[in-house]
Every structure is written in structure tokens, then in C-alpha cells.
Amino acid sequence: MQITLRPPFGHVKLSLRRVAAAFPRLPKLSAAVILAVVLTAAGAGLLTGRVLPAANQIDLRFRYAPPWPLAGSSLAHLLGTDRLGRDLLSRMLVGGQNSLSVALMAIVFAAAVGTCLGLVAGYLGGWVDSLIMRCVDIMMSIPAILVALVFVVTIGASFAMVVATLALLLWAQYTRLVRGQVLSIKERDFVALAHVAGSSTRRILVVHIFPNLVNSVVVLATLQIGWGIVVESALSFLGAGVPPPAPTWGNLVAEGRDVLDQAWWIAVCPGLAIMLVVLSFNLFGDWVRDALDPTLRQL
């Protein structure tokens, strides 16, 4: 007799079906906003410099031009211009590209590292578990943004630095979540069977346990995107983000801060973009959670 051990991939397929069934409840407006922002951010390189002025193109004839329908504006600069006559819309598109890619890359790194550590901690237990969870506790009880600020300012702001710092702040939550789930999954029969059949620890973790917690990790990641964007923009606002002249939504708001009384649009528009995108990602994340794993309500 041959015993075939099928890893429980059925679960993943089932939840895809659940996604399809839940589609009518998809927050359509949020999904549309996310899609639009992701597409324009990805295509920012194609749009600016061709359809729109280049993001860093200085044009001193049009300094502080207001957004389009207002007096003194021009159709060439729909959202107005800044102190050097640079087009705000182009800068916002490129800024969105920077802000989104920082947040997304940080979350991918954090999820990868955090999940691996959580798997190891939960499955091996013992002193490895204690050590990893001690680090998690420490990460969760220090004033994260302050430590991030210290790191970025002292080591020097750069794209990679901001991504690394954000990832450092985020990984602990994945570890805690994954470890908790591994603790219950590893008691299930299919893990014991895999063990009896002679699977290595690595195989059990990767093939048998990991597919069962993909959903939770995806849910946590979607819920964190909004937070990632807000923290990235706060760092940029304080001058500790991706360094200028590269625009990000945060440093555009910071530029607008000094000229709030004469050129309000420079601060208002990028901030509105942050709010809209974060709001959409939050609503979308809530939906993903309800669709994939409603037991994660507490996240």
C-alpha cells in the first residue's frame, strides 16, 4: 500500500474561491483609487517629460502658478507649480512612485524576514523561540518612529536606508502572528504524518505549514501598506526620507509648509493624495481580511 501525503494546498484553493464569492463586497471606489495610483506611479516615467513636464524641470516664468481653474493658472500646469515653477502634478506622480515603492518594498522585506523567524520560533520552540520572541517584545516596546529617525538621520538618508528602517520597524508583527499560528498548526495530524513519512524540518515548514498561513501574512501585509505610506511620508516631511531633489509626498508637503499663505496648493494636494491612498488601502485591507481570514479581526 502506498501512502501519498498531499500537502494541504486545498486550503489555498478554497480561499481563492472565497475571494471570488466575496467579490460583490469589494470596495470598488478604493480598488479603483489603488489601481489608478499604482498604474500612474508605475507609468510616471512614461508620462512625465512627454505628456506632462518633467518632475524636476524648472520654469521660472511660472513660479507659484495656482491650480487650473483659478486666476493666473495655465492648462499646462493642472495642479499649479512651486517656488521654481516645477509642475506639481508631475512631482506628485514621481513622488507617488517613490512613496509607494518604499512602502511596498519595506513590507515585502519585513514579511519575508518576519515570517521566516516566526516559522522557526514556533516550530523549534525552546531557546530559539525565547530568543526570537524576546527580540520581538523589544521591537514592540521601543518608540519605533524615534529610533527610525535616529537611524536615518545619523546613517544618512537614502532610498535603501528608508526601506531598511521601515522593514526593521515592521517585521516583529509578522513574527508574532506567524509563531502563534505555527504553534497550533504543528499539532495537527498532517504535520505528524509528514514527520513520520520522513520529511525534513525544512520541508515540513515550507511545504506543509507555510501554505496554511499565507493568508494571514497577506492580510497583515495589506493592512500595513497604509501605515507604511504614512510613516514614510512623516520621515520625508521631517527631512529624513528619500533625499531631494527626488520628490516624495512627504517632502512635497514640507516644501508647501513654508509658503502656506501664498501657495496653499503645494501642501494641500500631496497631502490629499496620501490621505486618499491610505484610506483606500485601509478599506481594501479590511476587505481582504474579511475575505481571506475573518479570524484576524483584532489586527
* Binding-site size, other proteins (CB under 8 A): 43
Q: Is residue 121 involved in binding other proteins (CB under 8 A)?
A: no
Q: Is residue 282 involved in binding other proteins (CB under 8 A)?
A: yes
Distance CA(91)–CA(57), nearest Å, equals 10
Contact pattern for other proteins over residues 3 through 22, marking x by CB under 8 A? --------------------
Contact pattern for other proteins over residues 233 through 272, marking x by CB under 8 A? xx--xxx----------x--x--xx--xx--x--xx--x-
At 96, the amino acid letter reads G
Location of C-alpha cell 495610483 = 37
- Whole-Å CA distances, 218 to 221, 225, 256: 5, 11, 36
Half-sphere exposure of 211 (CA within 13 A, CB side): 17
Return the residues of window 19-78 that contact other proteins according to CB under 8 A: none
Stretch that binds other proteins, among 82-90, 143-151, 188-196, 201-209 (CB under 8 A): 143-151
Taking CB under 8 A as the criterion, the residue among 150, 192, 193, 196 binding other proteins is 150
Q: Which is nearer to other proteins, 205 or 266 (CB)?
A: 266
> Tell me, what DSSP letter sits at residue 66?
P
CB of 13 to other proteins, least distance (A): 30
Question: How many other CB atoms sit within 10 Å of the CB of residue 10?
Answer: 10
Location of C-alpha cell 498561513 = 213
**CA neighbor of 209 nearest in space, from 174, 226, 184, 237:** 184
Distance CA(75)–CA(31), nearest Å, equals 29
Buried/exposed code over 144-176 (b: 16+ C-beta within 10 A; e: otherwise): beeebbebbeeeebebebbbbbbbbbbbbbbbb
Cell of 68: 487650473
CB of 18 to other proteins, least distance (A): 22
Distance CA(146)–CA(149), nearest Å, equals 5
Return the residues of window 156-185 that contact other proteins according to CB under 8 A: 156
Q: Which is nearer to other proteins, 217 or 277 (CB)?
A: 277
CB of 16 to other proteins, least distance (A): 27
Cell of 264: 496653499
Contact pattern for other proteins over residues 200 through 229, marking x by CB under 8 A? --------------------------x---
Location of C-alpha cell 497583515 = 220
Q: Which is nearer to other proteins, 52 or 177 (CB)?
A: 177
CB of 72 to other proteins, least distance (A): 19
The residues of the shown chain that bind other proteins, judged by CB under 8 A, are 134, 137-138, 141-147, 149-151, 153-156, 226, 230, 233-234, 237-239, 250, 253, 256-257, 260-261, 264, 267-268, 271, 274-276, 278-279, 282-283, 297-298
